[in-house]
Structure 1
């Protein structure tokens, strides 16, 4: 028998979720790509910034002179290009989603058949958590993380460095890397995948790989438990409409990305799909933990995700946006609703020098 919908304040449930977040992050192990409903569920010493990196990016105090808006801070370098905040609240959301995705991806840093990394670049590194974890697990590998915001830690492994850089401008790093990685860049930072693949191809050594781990801002549901007047579906549709007015997209078109990757010269291009659940409804423990983290990150992060998109692109008042976000949060807490974000991993290989 199903529980009644959650009512009243959401805080007790979220506080309970917070208590188990660290346990969920610690317990990472096997899962399959599908998500089965659980019927019982309803009852940081080396500086990370090299002198060369600082010189190349021409970092000055203005890079740290963040914009303040709606009580949140936003990046200063290439001001306005990235519409999400960069403050501590947003950094926490990014790190939580990192752990959620890592659970979904079976504790793998990448999916492509790439081994023995030597030089890796992480595009849109955010807080640098992926780059640092990869460096910890591969001490002989040099990892470079780039981003518009200097929000990365300084106490990092000696084989990590960070640069402030716009990936939509020329990279000027010919055949330096054997792996190019992105995660959650679709709609946020990369407006032109063809240009990205052109730059990635030029920056990779022959035989190197590029991998995009992207999720779609769409609430999927396979068992018709989502209500027809869903606040989450309405929010996602509006958010995507707003992001498109900024020149991006929250949609993910993996088949198109595959064609664009191949057009840039990559071979062995593949697509793998996953699902990131929202909430603790999955039967498998691993996915249940991923869903709990995703719920926590989205519940606390939906305002930051919405502020500039709804007010600047869609012309909403702050009050209207806050009401919309409150409706979304309340719906997310209803464990009878089994939704997820689709995740697509698209990867390809630069041919070897002797490839026909």
Structure 2
């Protein structure tokens, strides 16, 4: 039996059999023994209310709880679905990379959705919202750019702020689950997903769900790293010993063993087309790894990118490499060398960040 999405389940009211219905079922008359049974009815009402409260508390704990595993913390709802941690280290990384990408790309969105989100009833969905940085980041929060619109952030992990603007709401849900799209079809003007595809098990179905839940003329925007190491000079070649590249390749193999594709963004256009989208575009940005760029802004972004990778190595590696039958000791021995190469600015390397936009036709 499938598990209901928590934000729907918590809103759903259970229908309990009333004490009178129960008595009638057992052969008692509503008119007889009424006075004698008033106390019993009240007791049964109290029991039912207590059961409801206990069920709600249990549900809340299952959603908002976490799973601790060998020093790392993971989401509890649909536990194991997302292979990376959701602890403070990972949350800090999420916020840091948001700042890097906003600076390098010059914007937090690229789809032409301004008119839609400024109109009455404009709605946007951020799937895999994480900390909610895309909606709420202090420098350029989209929720502030479009105060008339409603922004919904969906994630498996309850790691979003509790205090949010009135036009922002967060739900704990699994967008790959059969009931994970709680809203009616054609609800949203804009669907956004960033650094999500490498953890998606069925990209084609996800694109179809997105298509169905966009209004005619609405846009989807996918922002994803290519997840390969690139270089434009001779400081790094394919023959160079560079453990960061080796780690990325192993990470891809581990994710494949789990059932996802680290390079899912490479051929996303075919899934978008198959789902029915048109006007598909792709923009690419070079995100440096390390301080090597001469440009001060790019150098600063490169250092933050390096830091985010460095701090996340253990969490990124743990489950994917375990899927390749690596022990924690073997993994840590590799990561020692990965850290050394991450800290070496003589490698002028970068990663490509892709912004793919597509539109649902009006007709």
Q: Show the counterpart of 2:175.
A: 167
Deviations 1:100-135 (A, max 9, x none): 1111211x1211222131210000000011122211
Q: Show the counterpart of 1:75.
A: 75
- Give yes or no for the alignment of 1:235 onto 2:244: no
Contact (CA 8 Å) 2:7, 2:171: kept in 1 or not? no
- Range moving further from structure 2, 192-201 or 284-293: 284-293
Q: Show the counterpart of 1:114.
A: 113
Contact (CA 8 Å) 1:53, 1:163: kept in 2 or not? no
**Separation (CA, whole Å) in 2 of partners of 1:54 and 1:284:** 50
Q: Show the counterpart of 2:153.
A: 145
How far did residue 137 of structure 1 move?
2.3
**Separation (CA, whole Å) in 2 of partners of 1:200 and 1:287:** 34
How far did residue 225 of structure 1 move?
1.2
User: What pairs up with 1:1-356 in 2 under 5 angstroms?
Assistant: 54-55=10-11, 59-106=59-106, 108-116=107-115, 117=117, 118-132=122-136, 133-170=141-178, 171-173=181-183, 174-188=185-199, 190-226=200-236, 228-254=240-266, 256-310=267-321, 312-353=322-363
SS of alignment partner, residue 197 of structure 2: coil
**Separation (CA, whole Å) in 1 of partners of 2:191 and 2:348:** 34
**Separation (CA, whole Å) in 2 of partners of 1:113 and 1:64:** 35
- RMSD of aligned residue pairs (Cα, Å): 1.8
How far did residue 153 of structure 1 move?
0.6
SS of alignment partner, residue 341 of structure 1: strand
SS of alignment partner, residue 204 of structure 2: helix
Choose between structure 1 and 2 for higher RCO, CA contacts under 8 A separated by at least 6 residues. 1
Stretches of structure 1 that go unaligned for 5 or more consecutive residues are 1-49
Q: Provide TM-score, normalisation by structure 2.
A: 0.78
**Separation (CA, whole Å) in 2 of partners of 1:304 and 1:113:** 35
Contact (CA 8 Å) 2:154, 2:170: kept in 1 or not? yes
Contact (CA 8 Å) 1:97, 1:297: kept in 2 or not? yes
**Separation (CA, whole Å) in 1 of partners of 2:349 and 2:101:** 15
Q: Show the counterpart of 2:32.
A: none
**Separation (CA, whole Å) in 2 of partners of 1:51 and 1:92:** 26
SS of alignment partner, residue 274 of structure 1: strand
Contact (CA 8 Å) 2:224, 2:265: kept in 1 or not? no
Q: Provide TM-score, normalisation by structure 1.
A: 0.80
**Separation (CA, whole Å) in 2 of partners of 1:284 and 1:351:** 41
Q: How many residues align?
A: 299
Stretches of structure 2 that go unaligned for 5 or more consecutive residues are 1-5, 13-55
Deviations 1:142-165 (A, max 9, x none): 100000011111111111001111
Distance 1:101 1:52, change over 3 A: same
